[in-house]
Amino acid sequence: MKKIYSLFLFVLLLLLTACDSGTSNGDQTSTPTPRSGAIAHALLQHEPSGDATLNWDATKRALKVQINLSGLGEGSTHPLHIHGGNCNSQGVDLYTLKDIVADAHGSATSTATISDVMGGIPDTGWYIEVQKGSGDQATSMIACGNITNAQPSVQDNQTAHVQIAEVPQPDQSSSGLVQLSVAHGSLTVVITMNGLSPQSAHAAQIATGSCRQQGKQLNVLQPVVADDTGNGSSTTTLPNVTAIPGSGWHVTIALSSDGGADTDIIACGDIVAGALG
């Protein structure tokens, strides 16, 4: 009898150990990954954007300027300048920097060193201008950043950090919302925007990647057409789509209506799962 009772306790112990082991495995957590779904959205914000770092050498009287941008057209070239004034009150060209050239993902870096900068970096009164294109196309500004320096000096080395973003003018300060939904095997994409030039039209597309690391074009959308007040909209229905990925898509809006002859992107938004809010 004792042997049967001992055998029973042994089997019971094995069963309890197995249950504990299963519970332990069930408690293990992993990093969640975005899931595909039927509803998504994207917030459209100005592009290109980026930052700049200015370093002034008090001994050499030299100014080093490094600029990093994303959201440019693939392979596009853009002149860079330091101007007097600010993004809202533009002034004369003070220093010409090295042109910035975008890679296949719309990102670019430019570094230039300017000699004989005798007064260092001022507290205010300078701004960085990113122009639309090179040569005869360099006629308009597509991004801007005001330069400020909290502790200006002509005796000590100086460093200033600059955020480069929108330009206070139509199209280049536009923003908006993209709403995506899947039903009955079709994807509907609705775009609403503000801050556009009145009666203007702008090419739109869905592409792989993100606004910071652009990929290949997936779908051409209906152009965003603005009314007399600069508010624009577009609705596109794409067949044979059953789900929206949780990540890896973005929407870009171009300055021109064809999106090919003019690669200047004015707004971009990464597509994320779920409705806004």
d(CA 172, CA 164): 12
d(CA 21, CA 90): 69
Higher pLDDT, 56 or 5: 56
Summarised one tens digit per residue, pLDDT across range 142-172 is 999 999 999 999 999 999 999 999 999 999 9
Q: Which of 33-47, 56-70, 123-137 has the highest mean pLDDT?
A: 56-70
* Per-state percent for the chain, helix, strand, coil, to nearest 5: 10, 50, 40
Query: Among residues 229, 227, 228, 217, which one has the least CA distance to residue 254?
Result: 217
Pairing label, strands 126-131, 80-86: antiparallel
Question: Three-class SS of residue 160?
Answer: strand
**Stretch among 2-16, 98-112, 168-182, 259-273 having the lowest mean pLDDT:** 2-16
The pLDDT, as a whole number, for residue 28 is 40
Distances in Å between the alpha carbon of 3 and those of 7, 12, 14, 16?
6, 14, 17, 20
Q: Mean pLDDT in the chain?
A: 88
Summarised one tens digit per residue, pLDDT across range 222-255 is 999 999 999 999 999 999 999 999 899 999 999 9
pTM, two decimals, is 0.82
Higher pLDDT, 135 or 57: 57
The pLDDT, as a whole number, for residue 25 is 40
Contact, 78 vs 139, CB < 8 A?
no
Beta-strand (E) ranges in 76-231? 77-78, 80-86, 89-96, 100-101, 108-114, 126-131, 141-147, 158-164, 175-183, 186-194, 201-209, 214-226
The pLDDT, as a whole number, for residue 81 is 97
Is it the case that residue 48 has pLDDT exceeding 80? yes
Contact, 44 vs 174, CB < 8 A?
yes
Which residues lie closer than 8 Å to 262 by C-beta, 6 or more apart?
Answer: 254, 255, 256
The pLDDT, as a whole number, for residue 33 is 42
Domains delineated in the chain = 39-46+170-273 (2.60.40.200), 49-164 (2.60.40.200)
The pLDDT, as a whole number, for residue 250 is 98
Structure tokens at 169: 């003018």
Is it the case that residue 15 has pLDDT exceeding 60? no
Is it the case that residue 2 has pLDDT exceeding 50? no
What are the beta bridge partners of residue 130?
Answer: 80, 143
Structure tokens at 120: 């260092």
Contact, 91 vs 83, CB < 8 A?
yes
Summarised one tens digit per residue, pLDDT across range 164-193 is 999 999 999 999 999 999 999 999 999 999
Confidence band (pLDDT; 50, 70, 90) for 133? Answer: confident
d(CA 183, CA 201): 28
| H-helix or E-strand spanning residue 2 | helix 2-27
Is it the case that residue 13 has pLDDT exceeding 50? no
